[in-house]
Structure 1
Amino acid sequence: MAIARIGEFRALAGQEDALAHFLASITPLILGSEGALSCQLFRDRDDAARFLMIEHWETPEAHQASVKNIPPDLLQQARGLFAAAPVGSYFDPID
């Protein structure tokens, strides 16, 4: 059964567009990962520093393995864009 992974990200003041660009740039890497079904990025209408990424995966393990597809140097550069550590959770569909 497929799962959803919902991640929340908050940009540092003045880094909102840079974080949006970074998150958009890793979307193809996510979608190219084994077990990825879909990935959508959203920006809060009332808070331009807040983003949600909603991903659908075959399994949580597929999501966890996908992190290796993002180059470590790219992740290191992105760390300076976050106001707080990203948070995320897995969700099961209700049929």
Structure 2
Amino acid sequence: MSILRINEFRAHEGGGDTLRDRLKVFVPAIKASLGCLSCELLQSQKNPAHIVLLEVWESAEAHQASLKNIPPDEFKETMKLVAVPPTGEYYDYT
């Protein structure tokens, strides 16, 4: 069974577009990772500071292994744009 990973990010006030653009850079590396079935980046129309990254994976282990494909320094810089720590959770995907 596949899994869905929902990651939620909240940008600082007025920083939604900047955070979206920074996260968008990671999408090709995620999609190219072994076990990734899809990856979509969404920005709320009502609250542009709310960004969601939806990832479908063959397994949670494949997702965990893919984290090595994201440059740590770039990710650290991107996390400076969030107002609160991001959240993420796995869901059964049928």
Q: TM-score range by the shorter chain?
A: over 0.9
1:7-22 equivalences in 2 (<5 Å): 7-22=7-22
Q: What runs of 5+ residues in structure 2 fail to find an aligned partner? A: none
Under a length normalisation based on structure 1, what TM-score does the superposition of the two structures give?
A: 0.93
The 1:47/1:62 distance shift into structure 2, 3 A limit, reads: same
Partners in 2 of 1:32 and 1:19 — Cα distance? 21
Instruction: Kindly provide the amino acid, as one letter, of the partner of residue 25 in structure 1.
Output: V
Which residue is equivalent to 2:88? 88
Q: What runs of 5+ residues in structure 1 fail to find an aligned partner? A: none
- 8 A Cα contact 2:16 2:51, kept in partner: no
1:35-54 equivalences in 2 (<5 Å): 35-54=35-54
Deviation of 1:14 after TM superposition, in Å, equals 2.9
What is the percentage of aligned positions where both structures have the same residue? 45
Aligned residues: 94
Under a length normalisation based on structure 2, what TM-score does the superposition of the two structures give?
A: 0.94
Q: Deviations over 1:19-78 (max 9, x none)?
A: 010111100010011110000111111101001111100000111111110101101111
Which residue is equivalent to 1:5? 5
Which residue is equivalent to 1:26? 26
The 4+ residue runs of structure 1 with deviation greater than 3 A are: none
Which residue is equivalent to 2:64? 64
Partners in 2 of 1:14 and 1:44 — Cα distance? 13
